[in-house]
Amino acid sequence: MLQTNNVHHLKEVRSAARLGAEPDGLRALFRKQPAECLSAGQSLFFEGDMAKHLFEVVGGSLRIFKIISDGRRVITGFAHVGDIVGVSLKSHYLYSAEAIVDTRIRRLSRRAFEAEITRCPDLQSKMFSHLCDEMAAAQDQMVLLSRKSAEERVCTFLRKQVQRGSAFPGSSALVELPMTRLDIADYLGLTIETVSRTMTRLARRGIVCPVDRHTVRVMKYGVLVQLSGDDEYYGDEPIQIPYAGGNHH
């Protein structure tokens, strides 16, 4: 039975599931485009470049970042398979994008993208939804950086990675972390030492179990959710979500 205090989490999970299962959304515009390869560390575009193309990630991962006035890098997000990057309402890109690992992308010219959006009203609503999602993510990041403790930040990050990998997250979820600890630290506004110490504490408490350098198994997902400071779910068992579709095999 679904507990009332899990409703917020359930909505978040179902929204992610719908996005991942949507076959004819914005990603459909990229299907006929050839895949291009980026080597690890190679830039896709820089902040301030003319925004001539949009990109879909079809393999690997990107780090999204800005360079602030004192020269420091601030990572504002990560893009994974199925994500679209480079959407800008201005004439230039508002951030830089760089491959974390060897990555494949498809590109679509902004002119072609805007023509399709204009031609198809259904795509207009999907574009609006995409922009709303980006705004919501930016607001979540502001809360994370301004209000949360180091442990809450790390747990929030791990929880989101679990949700990204599964529409029905639960205990013993395997989480792939292609980014470096420095990437995670820059994203969370922490030092790399703080990230490492926090991960070690979570492992000692049996909440996570490191598998290798870039893989972590979440042993107690409910506790991880509690420690993230976002929900009131206190169990350590998988969240049970009733199936709303028809028969399946």
> Is 194 contained in some domain?
yes
Contacts of 69 (CB under 8 A, 6+ apart): none
Pair of tokens at residue 214 = 């870039």
- When pLDDT is cut at 50, 70 and 90, the band that residue 171 belongs to is low
Residues 177-196, mean pLDDT to the nearest whole number: 95
Ramachandran angles phi, psi of 244, nearest 5°: -105, -5
Number of domains in the chain: 2
Q: What is the CATH number of the domain that holds 127?
A: 2.60.120.10
158 and 112 co-located in one domain: no
**What is the domain range of residue 216?**
149-228
At 211, which helix (H) or strand (E)? strand 208-212
Q: pLDDT tens digit string along 5-21? A: 333 333 333 333 333 33
Name the most confidently modeled range: 5-9, 122-126, 216-220: 216-220
* Whole-Å CA distances, 228 to 9, 158, 184, 221: 12, 9, 15, 11
> Is 24 contained in some domain?
no
Contacts of 153 (CB under 8 A, 6+ apart): 144, 145, 188, 189, 190
Q: What is the CATH number of the domain that holds 173?
A: 1.10.10.10
Q: What is the pTM of this model?
A: 0.75
3-state secondary structure of 4: helix
Q: Classify burial at 136, counting beta carbons within 10 Å of its beta carbon; exposed 0-12, middle 13-18, buried 19 or more.
A: exposed
At 21, which helix (H) or strand (E)? helix 7-21
Pair of tokens at residue 144 = 């994370």
What confidence score (pLDDT) does residue 130 get? 67
Mean pLDDT across the chain: 80
More confident residue, 166 or 205: 205
50 and 96 co-located in one domain: yes
Contacts of 131 (CB under 8 A, 6+ apart): 87, 89
CA–CA separation, 77 vs 79, rounded Å?
7
102 and 133 co-located in one domain: yes
> Is 121 contained in some domain?
yes
* pLDDT more than 90, % of the chain: 53
39 and 140 co-located in one domain: yes
Residues 171-198, mean pLDDT to the nearest whole number: 92
pLDDT at 240 over 50: no
3-state secondary structure of 34: coil
